[in-house]
Amino acid sequence: MKPEYKNICIGALGWARERDYKGYSKFDALNSPLLAWLAGERRFLRGAFVFGMSRMPVNLRPVLFVRKKQNPKGLALFARSYFNLYEITGDESFKKEGLRLLEVLSGLSRRDEYSGHCWGYDHPWQNTAFFIPAYEPNCVVTCAVGEGFLQSYHLTGNEKHLEVCRSIAEFILRDLKQIDVAEGMRCCSYDLNSDWKVINVNAMAAAFLAKLFEITNNDEYKAAGREMMQWVISQKTDYHAWYYTDPPGASRITHDGYHTGFVLDAIGDYLKIFPDAAIEKAWRDGLGFYKTNLFTEDFAPKWMYDRKHPADIHGAAQGVITFTRASAIEQDMLEVSKNILDWTLENLYSPKQNRFYYQSGKYRTKKFTLMRWCQAWMCYAISEHLLSNPHNEQNSQAAESDKSNSSESITQTPKGAPLALLGIAHLRHAFSNHYQPLANSELVESVTTIRPGRWEKTVLNKITVIPVERGPMAWRLIRIFVASVCTARKKKLDGVVCFTPLPYGVVAYFATRIVRLPYHVGIIGEKIKAQLRGARGVLLRRVLNKAASISVPGEKLQAELSALGVDKKKIFILPHGLGSQFAPNPDVVKKYDCIFAGDLLEVKRVHLIITAWAKVVRRKPEAKLCIVGDGPQRKNLESLALQLGLNENIHFAGYQREIINLLRESKLFILASLSEGLPFAMIEAMACGVVPVVNNVGSISSLIRDGVNGCLLNTSEEMDEYSTRILDLLDNDEKLSRFSSAARRAVKHLTFQAVTKQWENILNSWPGENLK
């Protein structure tokens, strides 16, 4: 059975909480009064004790009276783990504990002694370059804690936490040394007293300042972050790696897993706010070096790029984090993250004690736990992996559980025999967001799609399109049926995939009865309960019950189908896939205050949106709404806008094949439909940082948290709530910015790679032999 990552994360957090998050740290030897007394002020002895303790084959800390403490960086990692679990589950207890830990961190800040909030390690630290007393602030710990306060602000809107982040920026820019490196570049010192130029630290500071700029629009943060990032990029070697320091000889560390991961994560975060082709290329090249040189073929973390042992828990955790985050751009990286996580759970984890081990050497494993180095990093890593794709894991575990408990033995489709599939689709989004990721799977040899109308030849190599002429519905369905049967026989296909039970599921049902193939039915946004009533409901129930698998956009529809008697084991949540191009562009001017995108049908209730917009315009005469789409209601809607005197406030953009530029030019996304599944346009808008103001129908609530990443309304005909919530957001730039960032986070796991992975779960659930 696949490891239940969420339960492991919760159990590991429980282990830490039972100990009040107090424990040992890797370099905490001088927290021993005995060793501190023996070393005195002698730099060599202090360094020997610190370095020697970190490399001991057994944990001597208890016998040397090393004190267990709360590490500020560890507390921040635990807090962020709780926040991630809250975003995944909605459980308020996780958020509450994360906020409590931030309160503890506030008490550990050295704010009164410096220009802003700042933190240091809980132990004295002697290395080759400097000595830092316990709790003396430095850049890396301060940035790590700052990320926790920044995440809290996005989740809760607590202005005090935003002020903490602004204060942290003051520490970075005023108290740390600003080292002159080159024109147009900047480097801040690691600590308060040395000129040590640490590359990953500047990458982290640059990313933090960029995120803070996104909220505050403070140009100083933007300029400083950009100069730091330019210096970091300039330090990349010809073979696409980063040393720990500049010059490289200033540290014994060359290229290790966690510091390289820090750099890549920071660059990735920076690119989300300031897209840059040259920086993205550096990131992609660096990611390639990281994957190839810092992990083994078995997905174990290497100690250094040129040294395999020992495999360190921090290197494993960082690999999970870095490849998880990279999967938003490089889709196959999520599988790498999963493989590293599975290796770690197999080799560096105690399931009985819910704790993680320190290192795995060539001959033995150091089975002791360092609170920040082991437990905090792994809790955060697992929570990040879960946050990237919660639906995929849930369905995978459910499927595995069902199979293990089933008394029937089902032959699975072998991965060594790629499938040739037939696809039937009408909706553009079903084609681009589901069939293309399906074709990306190694389990699939080809997808031959039958689609009404003309199709531009912008498809993947493994997809072939057979167009069917449009016409009356009955005639079109007959042609699709005939084409399906003929194509399946001629090409000797292995199965059929279609979307919308009515009418294409019916076509698939009858066609597969003839050619004896399994078929899949994808449900996107239908009112399934209504369709299952009456005479057609009898046929539709048979279509669903005979299907080899069914996909739905969210848990709500999954529960509805199960309650209606459909076998739950074959109902999968199939996430919508987003390309990496769906991201905000800070240089684009916001032309529209609000945007609607969809077919202009009565069920969409666009006339009520226009009525609500009239109330917005009374308060904000310059407010502009963009309506994207076409349909039978367009003329009536244009007449209504004219009648209400909104011809200067509403732009009818008509049908647009690509809406990404219009989304980037908009602040809010509005939807008032009485029926939806999980709207593609809404997801694309959220990825671009456009805040949703939407009706609570279908599976929309699986992504939208009211008052956190958008406005989730419950309305029938009354639209006053829409205009009130819209005006509230337009009047409050900070709230709008906070919701925008949270909206992007809510959909970041919806990658094409996640869709591909779920397709593989679906195909693996099919019987090995054709249905009879």
Q: Identify the domain boundary among 354, 388, 422.
A: 388
CA distance 77 to 325: 16
Q: Residue 3 pLDDT > 60, yes or no?
A: no
* Range scoring the smallest mean pLDDT among 194-208, 264-278, 576-590: 576-590
Note whether residue 15 is domain-resident. Answer: yes
Q: Residue 589 pLDDT > 60, yes or no?
A: yes
Pairing of strands 125-126, 131-132: antiparallel
Note whether residue 227 is domain-resident. Answer: no
Look at residue 402 in the predicted model and tell me its pLDDT.
41
Q: Provide DSSP, 18-52.
A: HTTTEE--TT-GGGSHHHHHHHTT-HHHHHHHHHH
Look at residue 426 in the predicted model and tell me its pLDDT.
58
Sole residue written with tokens 């003309």: 454
Q: What Cα–Cα distance (Å) separates residue 161 from each residue in 10, 74, 495?
A: 25, 19, 54
Q: Residue 216 pLDDT > 60, yes or no?
A: yes
CA distance 468 to 270: 46
Question: Do 421 and 337 share a structural domain?
Answer: no
Residue-number span of the structural domain to which 340 is assigned = 1-25+295-388
Q: Residue 474 pLDDT > 90, yes or no?
A: no
| Stretch 540-563: mean pLDDT | 86
CA distance 754 to 577: 7
How confident is residue 748, by pLDDT bands cut at 50, 70 and 90?
confident
Q: Identify the domain boundary among 357, 388, 419.
A: 388
Look at residue 618 in the predicted model and tell me its pLDDT.
93
Structural domains in the chain (count): 3
- pLDDT tens digits for range 315-369: 999 999 999 999 877 778 989 999 999 999 999 999 999 999 999 998 899 999 9
Question: Do 758 and 739 share a structural domain?
Answer: no
- Supply the pTM of this predicted model: 0.63
757's tokens: 């992975």
| Stretch 416-439: mean pLDDT | 70
Q: How much of the chain exceeds pLDDT 70, in percent?
A: 90
Q: DSSP 3-state assignment of 441?
A: coil
User: Quick one: which of 674, 663, 760 has its CA closest to 715?
Assistant: 674
Query: Based on the number of CB atoms within 10 Å of its own CB, is 652 exposed (0-12), middle (13-18) or buried (19 or more)?
Result: middle
- What value does the CA radius of gyration of the chain take, rounded to a whole number of Å? 28
Pairing of strands 711-713, 691-695: parallel
449's tokens: 């799609």
Greatest mean pLDDT among 84-88, 520-524, 623-627: 623-627
| Packed helices 534-546 and 506-515: angle between N→C axes, nearest 10 degrees | 50
CA distance 720 to 716: 11
Q: Provide DSSP, 201-230.
A: HHHHHHHHHHHHHHHH--HHHHHHHHHHHH
Look at residue 466 in the predicted model and tell me its pLDDT.
78
CATH number at residue 709: 3.40.50.2000
Question: Do 426 and 528 share a structural domain?
Answer: yes
Greatest mean pLDDT among 126-135, 225-234, 467-476: 225-234
Look at residue 458 in the predicted model and tell me its pLDDT.
43
340's tokens: 């590293």
393 or 241, greater pLDDT: 241
Structural contact between residues 392 and 757, judged by C-beta atoms closer than 8 angstroms: yes
- pLDDT tens digits for range 669-722: 999 988 887 888 999 999 999 999 999 888 888 888 888 889 988 866 567 888
Q: Which residues lie across from 710 on neighbouring strands?
A: 706
Look at residue 401 in the predicted model and tell me its pLDDT.
42
Look at residue 405 in the predicted model and tell me its pLDDT.
38
Note whether residue 516 is domain-resident. Answer: yes
Question: Do 405 and 491 share a structural domain?
Answer: yes
Question: Do 572 and 533 share a structural domain?
Answer: yes
Q: Residue 407 pLDDT > 70, yes or no?
A: no
**Residue 772 identity:** K
| Stretch 469-480: mean pLDDT | 79
Q: What Cα–Cα distance (Å) separates residue 643 from each residue in 279, 460, 540, 560, 671?
A: 50, 47, 43, 42, 22
Note whether residue 2 is domain-resident. Answer: yes
**Residue 479 identity:** R
CA distance 753 to 762: 14
How confident is residue 399, by pLDDT bands cut at 50, 70 and 90?
very low
How confident is residue 477, by pLDDT bands cut at 50, 70 and 90?
confident
Note whether residue 253 is domain-resident. Answer: no
Q: Which residues lie across from 423 on neighbouring strands?
A: 449, 497
Question: Do 651 and 711 share a structural domain?
Answer: yes
Mean pLDDT of the chain: 87
352's tokens: 């009985």
* Range scoring the smallest mean pLDDT among 136-140, 271-275, 411-415, 591-595: 411-415
Look at residue 225 in the predicted model and tell me its pLDDT.
95
Q: Residue 91 pLDDT > 90, yes or no?
A: no
Look at residue 191 in the predicted model and tell me its pLDDT.
93
Q: DSSP 3-state assignment of 710?
A: strand
- pLDDT tens digits for range 14-49: 999 999 999 999 999 999 999 999 999 998 999 999
Question: Do 610 and 492 share a structural domain?
Answer: no
CA distance 714 to 718: 10
Question: Do 744 and 596 share a structural domain?
Answer: yes
Look at residue 358 in the predicted model and tell me its pLDDT.
95
Question: Do 344 and 451 share a structural domain?
Answer: no
Q: What Cα–Cα distance (Å) separates residue 509 from each residue in 219, 246, 411, 485, 582?
A: 60, 65, 22, 11, 36
Note whether residue 48 is domain-resident. Answer: no
Query: Based on the number of CB atoms within 10 Å of its own CB, is 716 exposed (0-12), middle (13-18) or buried (19 or more)?
Result: exposed
Q: Residue 633 pLDDT > 80, yes or no?
A: yes
Note whether residue 741 is domain-resident. Answer: yes
Q: Residue 430 pLDDT > 60, yes or no?
A: no
Note whether residue 179 is domain-resident. Answer: no
Q: What is the 3-state secondary structure (H, E, C) of 126-190?
A: ECCCCEECCCCCCHHHHHHHHHHHHHHHHHHCCHHHHHHHHHHHHHHHHHCCEECCCCCCCEECC
| Cβ density class 272-297: b for 16+ within 10 Å, e for less | bbbebeebeebbeebbebbbebbbee
Q: DSSP 3-state assignment of 748?
A: coil
Structural contact between residues 354 and 18, judged by C-beta atoms closer than 8 angstroms: no
| Stretch 54-70: mean pLDDT | 93
487's tokens: 């194509």
Q: DSSP 3-state assignment of 348?
A: coil
Look at residue 528 in the predicted model and tell me its pLDDT.
64
Question: Do 423 and 355 share a structural domain?
Answer: no
Question: Do 724 and 666 share a structural domain?
Answer: yes
CA distance 100 to 732: 27
φ/ψ of 467, rounded to 5, equals -75, 145
Question: Do 569 and 665 share a structural domain?
Answer: no
Look at residue 733 in the predicted model and tell me its pLDDT.
87
Q: Identify the domain boundary among 328, 357, 388.
A: 388
